[in-house]
Copies of this chain bind each other. A is one copy, B any other.
Amino acid sequence: MNRMHNDPVNFREEMIAGFCAAYPHIVQRVEGASGIRAVNAPQQGKVSVIVGGGSGHYPAFYGLVGSGLASAGVIGDIFTSPSGEQAYRVAKAVDGGAGILWTFGNYSGDVMNFGMAEMRLQAEGIESTTVLVTDDVLSAPKAEADRRRGIAGGFYVFKTAGASAARGDSLREVERLTRKANARTRTAGIALGGCTIPGQGEPLFTVEHGKMEVGLGIHGEPGVRVQEQLSSSGIAQLLIDSLMADAPADGGGEVAVLVNGLGGIKYEELFVLNSAIGPLLQKAGLRVYETQIGEFVTSLDMAGCSITLHWLDDELRPLHDATAQSPAYTRIGPDVQAVSQVVGAATGVVSSIGKAVQQFADSVRTTSASDAEQGVPGKAGAAARVAIADALAAVKGIETQLGRLDAVAGDGDHGAGMVRGMTAAEDAVKGFSGTARETFTKAGTAFQDAAGGASGALVGAFM
């Protein structure tokens, strides 16, 4: 296979330059180091998450640097670990004072080099810890699970770490959750053909027509055994069986599924593969929370694919779902979705309340203004009660959205509080026949009592 390149010696440098030129709003080159950082890193007082390893695996690792994901990526030559010196420099550039979490695949070169950087940081008093990705069930038996290498499942580990750090968790907490994410992630894969490195004419390995390698490597190494090529459904069965034989004991019944292409097996083939995965997981008693299909960890143009299962629970799910934006992965999380919905809904509420106020004002105008002011019961009082009922209806209509919005900004009970308050206000003045002022005073007091909190005080006072 021909590859496209200039002088292969400059490949890495030109690759980083071309990448940074494309995404200046998300990432930038770390001055004097072979790595990139998120433009918003470091964030003072927050943990920085650093990923890295050899290149040739895009979007792993540096395509996952951005907000809600990794703070920085250390970038080696194709399939070659970056040096400890480079890793150290990248870490220094994104130290935000709350510690550094390293997370990368379990390969000896990376372990050695990142380990050296970690020791230097610790010597300088910068807290630093490492979570190795060890998701490949076919690379070592269960009894030696810590010897397993990291492949596509790293995506979930990095996403968990990035989301945990972004919300301000402590280094210990980010580490705990990242370790948990790795412990609940399993991957197995196959390959139908090897990849070619820029500057070399031949692929690193070839697979005989009609055969396949089981237990792929992502550094151009062949799988752990060769067998007859199975159909897509047969491959799905083989891989799911391997994963289920190794399911985490306390995993629970809900998984996120990643169907990953290594470069040369393409999307359409992965969709066909996925058509067989759902029924197999259902048979295994697992509920699929979400499936993602695409190229998440590649090995240049290697014709391979893998299936990853990531067992979710109430702690990991919000981290999986959180908003993220990086060159290779953008996710609109429930926080942003709630905000978008509430803006649409709030526009409606403001216009409803505005209309109620307008109607109230009109009613008052048709009565004698001084009557209303002096406390004569009548139309203005009735109009006030209509306005309160209208406002209650409008608020009820967006209770859920208000709650979701408040879950982002506060404690999630804003929607319920508003409805509780408005209901109490309406009840207090139902059948009441006082003046507008008396009506609003009565309603305001009732609102304040029922809703409580800051909005209780503010809206109550408004009335």
- Count residues of A near B (Cβ-Cβ below 8 Å): 95
Q: Choose, from A10-18, A39-47, A129-137, A312-320, the stretch at the interface.
A: A10-18
Q: Are A291 and B233 in contact (CB under 8 A)?
A: no
Q: Choose, from A109-117, A324-332, A394-402, the stretch at the interface.
A: A324-332
Q: Are B273 and A18 in contact (CB under 8 A)?
A: yes
Complex: A301 Cα to B203 Cα, angstroms:
15
A55 to chain B, nearest CB (A): 6
A433 at the interface (CB under 8 A from B): no
A35 to chain B, nearest CB (A): 14
A421 at the interface (CB under 8 A from B): no
A354 at the interface (CB under 8 A from B): yes
Q: Are B192 and A4 in contact (CB under 8 A)?
A: yes
Interface string of A256-279 (1 = CB under 8 A from B): 010100011111111111111110
Residues of B close to A303: CB separation below 8 A: 1-2, 301
**Contacting residues of chain A (309-356) with chain B, CB-CB under 8 angstroms:** 323, 325, 327-328, 330-332, 335-336, 339-340, 343-344, 346-347, 350-351, 353-354
Q: Which of A201, A274, A350 has the most CB of B within 10 A?
A: A274
A63 to chain B, nearest CB (A): 7
Q: Choose, from A87-95, A138-146, A373-381, A405-413, the stretch at the interface.
A: A405-413
Complex: A55 Cα to B268 Cα, angstroms:
8
Residues of B close to A1: CB separation below 8 A: 192-193, 264, 303
A326 to chain B, nearest CB (A): 11
Q: Are B332 and A458 in contact (CB under 8 A)?
A: no
Interface string of A167-196 (1 = CB under 8 A from B): 000000000000000000000000011000
Complex: A58 Cα to B339 Cα, angstroms:
31
A108 at the interface (CB under 8 A from B): no
In this complex, what residue of B is CB-closest to A22?
A: B291
Residues of B close to A344: CB separation below 8 A: 409
A401 to chain B, nearest CB (A): 12
Residues of B close to A292: CB separation below 8 A: 22
Interface residues of chain A, those whose CB is within 8 Å of chain B, are 1-7, 11, 14-19, 21-23, 25, 55-56, 58-59, 63, 78, 192-193, 198, 201, 207, 209-210, 212, 229, 231-233, 235, 257, 259, 263-278, 290-295, 298, 300-301, 303, 305, 323, 325, 327-328, 330-332, 335-336, 339-340, 343-344, 346-347, 350-351, 353-354, 357, 405, 408-410, 454, 457-458, 461-462
